[in-house]
Structure 1
C-alpha cells in the first residue's frame, strides 16, 4: 500500500515552532496575536492571516514573509516526534508499504525537518504546496503522488490529523485515516469523511494492515 503521511500533527508535534513564528509575524506588524494558535496548524498561512489583517494583501504577504523568516532559522527545529511514530514507520516499511509525506509546509521548510528525523529516509517522496498559494492543495498533491507511484486509489491511504488531509483523500477516492494525537478533533475528522480513526501509532499500523 502507498501510505501518504501528513507532517505537522501526524509525524511531529510542531506546535512550538509554528506558534512562535506566527507570534513573530504579528509582533513585526504590531498586531496582537490570537490567544489560541492551535487552529492555525494545518491550514495555509494566508488563509489564517487574512481575516485578522483586514484581508489586506500587502500585510498578509508581509506576515507570511515574517513567519518564514523565523521558521527558516529557528522554527523548523522546534518540534518533537510523537511517541510511537518511529516504531510505526519502521513496521510499515518492514511490511513492504511505500511511504511519502504530503504536507501543507513549503518543501523548503519540510525537507530539512524530514531529513533530520531518524526515520526520514523511509519516505521516498515529499510533496508540498506552491509557496505562493493561499489554498490547501492536499487533493492535488495526493493526485500527484498516485501518479508518481503508479498507484490506484484503492491501494493508497492518506494519514493526517486535520480535515484537509481527509478531504484530500475523499477527493481522490483514497482511504482517509485520521489520527487522534494531533491538532484536529475526532468530530472534525469524522465530519470530513475519515474512514477510520487511529488512537495511537500502533493502532494506525493495525488499521493499515486490515
Structure 2
C-alpha cells in the first residue's frame, strides 16, 4: 500500500474567508490615506503571504508603506476574526472530506497556506481538527507560494515521495507550487482564481465539490500504477 499525502490550501479551498480578507485589506489601505484595492484585485492575490500580497497590490505605487499596510491588514483581520467568529465558514463538504480522508490508512493530510502559524492554529482549533494534519506549512515556515518550499517541507515531514503528494488549492499559486515540487495538482472550482487559469498553471483536474475528491484520488492512483 502506497501512502499518499493530500495537502490542502486553507483560504478559498477549505475556508470561505473572502469577505473578511477583502474588508481587512480595504481597511489597511484606507487607514494610510490610500484608496482601497478592488475586490477583484484582492481575490487575485489571496494565497500569497501578506508581504507579497501587499507588494502585488501596490506594484504601481512605489511610495506605499508596504510593511505598515501589511501590519495593518494583519491587525484588522485578527480583529475581524475575534469580533465575528462566524463570519468565516468551511465550504460545504470540507469537514466531511477531512474526516473521511483522515480515517483512511493510506492517506496522510497536510496544510500549505499563506496564513501565519497563529492563524492556522486558530483555524484548526475552531473546527476541532487539530490532530488531523501531520504537517502544517505556513507563511512563517517558508517562502511565499508559488515557491515549492511548503510542499517540499510537507513531503519531507510526512516521509513520502513527491509523486505521492497531491496539492488541493484554488489559486494558480497552489498549482505552480505543487508542480515545482514534483507533486500532483488538483484545483477547486469555488475559490479565487478561474478554472482556465488553474488548468494553465498545471491543475490535472478541478473539483466541483469535495465529494469528488476520493474518486479523483483513486483515478490518480490508477494512472500512476499504469
For the residues of structure 2 that align with 1:125 and 1:144, how far apart are their CA atoms?
9
Q: CA deviation at 1:202?
A: 0.5
SS in 2 for 1:157: strand
Q: CA deviation at 1:136?
A: 2.6
For the residues of structure 2 that align with 1:138 and 1:197, how far apart are their CA atoms?
21
For the residues of structure 2 that align with 1:101 and 1:3, how far apart are their CA atoms?
8
- Stretches of structure 2 lacking an aligned partner (at least 5 in a row): 220-226
For the residues of structure 1 that align with 2:135 and 2:141, how far apart are their CA atoms?
18
Equivalent residue number for residue 117 of structure 1: 127
Q: CA deviation at 1:92?
A: 1.1
For the residues of structure 1 that align with 2:181 and 2:170, how far apart are their CA atoms?
17
SS in 2 for 1:122: coil
Runs of 4 or more, structure 1, over 6 Å off, are none
User: What's the TM-score, normalizing by structure 2?
Assistant: 0.84
Q: 2:62 aligns with which of 55, 59, 75?
A: 55
Distance 1:143 1:196, change over 3 A: same
- Stretches of structure 1 lacking an aligned partner (at least 5 in a row): none
Equivalent residue number for residue 141 of structure 1: 150
CA contact (8 A) 1:18 1:75 kept: no
1:22 aligns with 2:25: yes
User: What's the TM-score, normalizing by structure 1?
Assistant: 0.90
Q: How many residues align?
A: 208
1:137-159 alpha-carbon deviations (Å, 9 max, x no partner): 55101101111111101111011
For the residues of structure 1 that align with 2:146 and 2:38, how far apart are their CA atoms?
27
Q: 2:76 aligns with which of 53, 56, 70?
A: 70
Q: CA deviation at 1:132?
A: 10
